Amino acid sequence: MKYFDEIKKSMEYLAMVKNTVFLGQAVSVPGTAMFNTLKDIDIKKKIELPVAEEMQMGMSLGMALEGYLPVTIYPRWNFLLLATNQLVNHLDKISEISNNQINPQIIIRTAVGSIRPLDPQSQHRGDFSNAFKQMCKNIDIYKITKPNEVFKTYKKVLLNKKRISLVVEIADFYNEK
């Protein structure tokens, strides 16, 4: 299967879990390429949010604490940067500061922005995977570069209970691989 098809299949697989909820911008309405990977998922499992990245990450943590499995979607790394406070200071540290009493499962989904067919310039195509691996010692970060890695990765993060996982996709591969 192609990269995009594997992503779509993975999102549908995650949606089969009763407590899964997808949240972010363009999860219920078109606006990013990631929308197309969610278009066949029940609208009741999606929460469309305004552009408020830090709030979105805080909501994701709150939902996880209430028993939901949030799949929180940031269409590009450059947008996820705006949630760095929540990600680095709260999600990454929550198990440690709670003496392992709080171990939420959250799936964070982002992408390295596409440069083809139109290059959006440096503001929208950053890849901060390595920097965040250094900053976040308690978050599992996966960068998916091959179609055959996609479903395996999302299945692994689903089965990895009590962990926070950040999955990095490559937007150019949606149409290429």
pLDDT at 33: 87
**36-40, 98-102, 110-114, 115-119: the lowest-pLDDT one:** 115-119
133: domain range?
A: 3-174
> Number of folded domains in the chain?
1
Checking if the pLDDT of 118 tops 80, the result is no
Mean pLDDT, range 62-81, rounded to an integer: 97
| Banded pLDDT at 164 (limits 50, 70, 90) | very high
CATH of the domain at 42: 3.40.50.970
**62-76, 81-95, 121-135, 149-163: the lowest-pLDDT one:** 121-135
Mean pLDDT, range 134-145, rounded to an integer: 97
In the chain, the percentage of residues whose pLDDT exceeds 90 is: 88
pLDDT at 75: 94
| Banded pLDDT at 122 (limits 50, 70, 90) | confident
Closest by Cα among 45, 44, 53, 92 to 70: 45
Q: Residue 145 and residue 64: Cα distance in Å, rounded?
A: 28
Give this prediction's pTM. Answer: 0.95
pLDDT at 115: 76
DSSP H helix total and E strand total for the chain: 7, 6
Note the pLDDT tens digit of each residue in 5-38: 999 999 999 999 999 999 999 999 998 889 999 9
Three-state SS letters, the chain: CCHHHHHHHHHHHHHCCCCEEEEECCCCCCCCHHHHHCCCCCHHHEEECCCCHHHHHHHHHHHHHCCCEEEEECCCHHHHHHHHHHHHHHHCCHHHHCCCCCCCCEEEEEEECCCCCCCCCHHHCCCCHHHHHHHCCCEEEEECCCHHHHHHHHHHHHHCCCCEEEEEEEHHHHCCC
Cis amide prior to 117 (ω within 30 degrees): yes
pLDDT at 177: 73
For residue 147, give both structure tokens. Answer: 């179609």
User: To 5 degrees, how large is the angle CA 41–CA 153–CA 22?
Assistant: 30
pLDDT at 103: 96
